[in-house]
Structure 1
Amino acid sequence: MSSRSALLQLINDCKNVRELKQIHTQLVKSLSITESDRGFLVNRLLFVGALSSLQSLTYAANVFNSIKNPNLSAYNIMIRAFASKHGSDDGEDQSLGLGLYKRMLFEGIAPDCLTFPFLLKERANVSDTSRGRIVHGHVVKFGLDKDIFVNNNMISMYSSHGAFVDCARKVFDAMPERDVVSWNSVIVGYLRAGDLDSASELFGRMKGRNIITWNSIITGFVQGGRPREALQLFQEMQTTGYEAVKPDKITMASILTACASLGALDHGKWVHNFLRKTGIECDLVIGTALIDMYGKCGSVDRAVEIFRAMPVRDNLAWTAMISVFALHGLCEEAFRFFEEMQALGLKPNHVTFVGLLTACAHSGSVERGRWCFDAMRCIYKIKREVRHYACMVDLLSRAGLFKEAEGLIGTMPVEPDVFVWGALLGGCLVHGNVDVGERVAKHLIKIEPANHVFYANLCDLYARAGRIGDVKRIRALMRARGIQKEVPGCSMIEIDGIVREFSVRGSAKSMIMEELFWFLNRLGDEMKIGENTHAFL
Structure 2
Amino acid sequence: MLLNYVVPDGITIPFVIKECVKRVDVVLGMSVHVHSVKFGLQDDVYVGNSMISLYSCGDLMDARKVFDEMSERDVVSWNLIVGGCLRSGEVEMARELFGMMGKRNIVSWNSIISGMVQGGRAKEAVGFFYEMVGLSEGDVVYPDKFTLASVISACALLGWLRYGKWVHGYMLRNGIECDVVIKTALVDMYGKCGNVSMAERVFKDICRKDVLAWTAMVSVYALHGHGDEAFDLFDKMVACGVRPNAVTFGALLTACAHLGLVDRGRWYFNSIRSVYLIEPTVQHYACMVDILGRAGLFDEAERLITNMPMDPDVFVWGALLGACQMHGNVELGEKVAKHLIHLEPLNHAFYATLCDIQAKAGKFDDLENTRALMNERGLKKDTPGNSLIEVDGVVYEFSIKGSSNIMMEEIKSLLSQLSKEIKVDQDTLLIPKEH
> TM-score scaled to structure 2, two decimals?
0.91
Structure of higher CA gyration radius: 1
Partner residue in 1 for 2:127: 232
Match of 2:281 among 385, 391, 396: 385
2:27, 2:48 → 1: CA distance?
17
**Secondary structure at the residue paired with 2:59?**
helix
Deviation at 1:366, TM superposition (A): 1.2
Match of 1:472 among 334, 354, 368: 368
Letter in 2 for 1:157: L
2:11 paired with 1:123: no
Letter in 1 for 2:342: K
Partner residue in 2 for 1:149: 46
1:219, 1:529 → 2: CA distance?
45
- By relative contact order (CA 8 Å, sep 6+), the higher-ranking structure is 2
2:192 paired with 1:296: yes
**Secondary structure at the residue paired with 2:134?**
helix
Deviation at 1:250, TM superposition (A): 0.9
**Secondary structure at the residue paired with 1:113?**
coil
Match of 1:505 among 384, 401, 411: 401
2:64, 2:414 → 1: CA distance?
61
Deviation at 1:238, TM superposition (A): 1.6
1:526, 1:447 → 2: CA distance?
42
Deviations 1:123-172 (A, max 9, x none): 2223442222222222222221111101111111222x2x5211111110
Partner residue in 2 for 1:520: 408
1:252, 1:449 → 2: CA distance?
40
Partner residue in 2 for 1:429: 325
Deviation at 1:337, TM superposition (A): 0.5
Indicate how the Cα distance of structure 1 residues 522 and 450 shifts in structure 2: closer, same or farther if over 3 A, else same. closer
Superposed, which structure 2 residues align to 1:411-430 within 5 Å? Answer: 411-430=307-326
Deviations 1:158-195 (A, max 9, x none): 22x2x521111111000001111111111111111112
2:73 paired with 1:170: no
Letter in 1 for 2:357: L
Contact preservation (8 Å) 2:215, 2:248: yes
**Secondary structure at the residue paired with 1:146?**
coil
Deviation at 1:478, TM superposition (A): 1.3
Deviation at 1:497, TM superposition (A): 3.1
Superposed, which structure 2 residues align to 1:484-499 within 5 Å? Answer: 484-499=380-395
Deviation at 1:527, TM superposition (A): 8.7
Partner residue in 2 for 1:442: 338
**Secondary structure at the residue paired with 1:279?**
coil
Match of 2:97 among 202, 206, 210: 202
Match of 2:7 among 94, 110, 116: 110
Superposed, which structure 2 residues align to 1:180-195 within 5 Å? Answer: 180-195=75-90
Indicate how the Cα distance of structure 1 residues 479 and 378 shifts in structure 2: closer, same or farther if over 3 A, else same. same
2:411, 2:282 → 1: CA distance?
47
2:232, 2:94 → 1: CA distance?
44
Indicate how the Cα distance of structure 1 residues 345 and 483 shifts in structure 2: closer, same or farther if over 3 A, else same. same
Deviation at 1:520, TM superposition (A): 3.2
Letter in 2 for 1:229: E
Indicate how the Cα distance of structure 1 residues 315 and 202 shifts in structure 2: closer, same or farther if over 3 A, else same. same
2:216 paired with 1:328: no
Letter in 2 for 1:465: A
2:281, 2:347 → 1: CA distance?
24
Deviation at 1:294, TM superposition (A): 0.7
Partner residue in 2 for 1:96: none
Contact preservation (8 Å) 2:132, 2:140: no
Superposed, which structure 2 residues align to 1:272-311 within 5 Å? Answer: 272-311=168-207
**Secondary structure at the residue paired with 1:107?**
coil
**Secondary structure at the residue paired with 1:487?**
coil
**Secondary structure at the residue paired with 2:209?**
coil
**RMSD of aligned residue pairs (Cα, Å):** 2.2
2:24, 2:167 → 1: CA distance?
38
Unaligned runs of 5+ in 2: 425-435
Deviation at 1:109, TM superposition (A): 2.8
Deviations 1:271-320 (A, max 9, x none): 11111111111110111011001111111121111111222211110010
Q: Post-superposition, which runs of at least 4 consecutive aligned residues in structure 1 deviate over 4 A?
A: 522-531
2:24, 2:305 → 1: CA distance?
32
Partner residue in 1 for 2:430: none
Unaligned runs of 5+ in 1: 1-103
Contact preservation (8 Å) 2:135, 2:141: no
2:245, 2:289 → 1: CA distance?
20
**Secondary structure at the residue paired with 1:329?**
coil
Indicate how the Cα distance of structure 1 residues 445 and 196 shifts in structure 2: closer, same or farther if over 3 A, else same. same
Seq. identity, %: 55
Letter in 2 for 1:114: I
Deviation at 1:528, TM superposition (A): 8.4
2:35 paired with 1:138: yes
2:219, 2:390 → 1: CA distance?
23
**Secondary structure at the residue paired with 2:309?**
coil
> TM-score scaled to structure 1, two decimals?
0.74
Partner residue in 2 for 1:48: none
Deviations 1:237-273 (A, max 9, x none): 1222676201111111111111111111111111111
1:499, 1:301 → 2: CA distance?
21
Deviation at 1:412, TM superposition (A): 1.9
2:106 paired with 1:211: yes
Letter in 1 for 2:174: T
